[in-house]
Structure 1
Amino acid sequence: MACDPKITNRLKRAEGQIRGILKMMDDDKSCQETMVQLMAVRSSLDKVMGLVVAENIRHCLDENGNVSNDKIEEALKMIAKL
């Protein structure tokens, strides 16, 4: 799957957030401050997963908007893993 620039940008942002969290831990920032940032990263990754699933569903459709049962099952399995 080719990576959509939106997905790439979100992942790079999450990577930066994780580096920031590591620095916060090295600097002995409070647990509360660190948890806020961890929740932000989790939310960001949840959004990335949604974009990936949406892109997969778009690829499941043919040019007429039709979709095969196999492709529906593939998309549903991906969604169920979320």
Structure 2
Amino acid sequence: MQYDEKVKNRMRRIEGQVRGVIKMMEEEKDCRDLVSQMSAVRSALDKSIAVIVSSNLEQCVREQVDKDEPTDELIQEAVNLLVKSR
């Protein structure tokens, strides 16, 4: 699957957030601030997962419909991926 630049940029921002968390740890920042930043990273990852799964699902469903094949299994697999990511 090809990933567009928006998704790659989203992941780069998350990478920067993680580096920021590590820096906060090295600077022995307050745990409340640290947990807040870690929560932001987790939220950003969750959103990225949803974007990737939905994009992939859309592409795969279109291909299945073009081939005149059922999409039930594909949709269930996408749902399972989202549930697994939580």
Tell me the TM-score range normalised by the shorter chain: 0.7 to 0.9
The alpha carbon displacement at 1:4 in A equals: 1.6
The alpha carbon displacement at 1:8 in A equals: 0.6
Structure 1 unaligned regions, length at least 5? none
Query: Residue type matched to 1:43 in 2?
Result: S
TM-score normalized by structure 1? 0.84
Once residues 38 and 24 of structure 1 are traced to their aligned partners in structure 2, the CA distance between those partners, rounded to angstroms, is 11
Structure 2 unaligned regions, length at least 5? none
User: Which protein is richer in helix relative to its size?
Assistant: 2
TM-score normalized by structure 2? 0.80
RMSD: 2.0
Retained in 1: the 8 A contact 2:10–2:48? yes
Retained in 1: the 8 A contact 2:21–2:38? yes
The alpha carbon displacement at 1:42 in A equals: 0.4
| Count of paired positions | 82
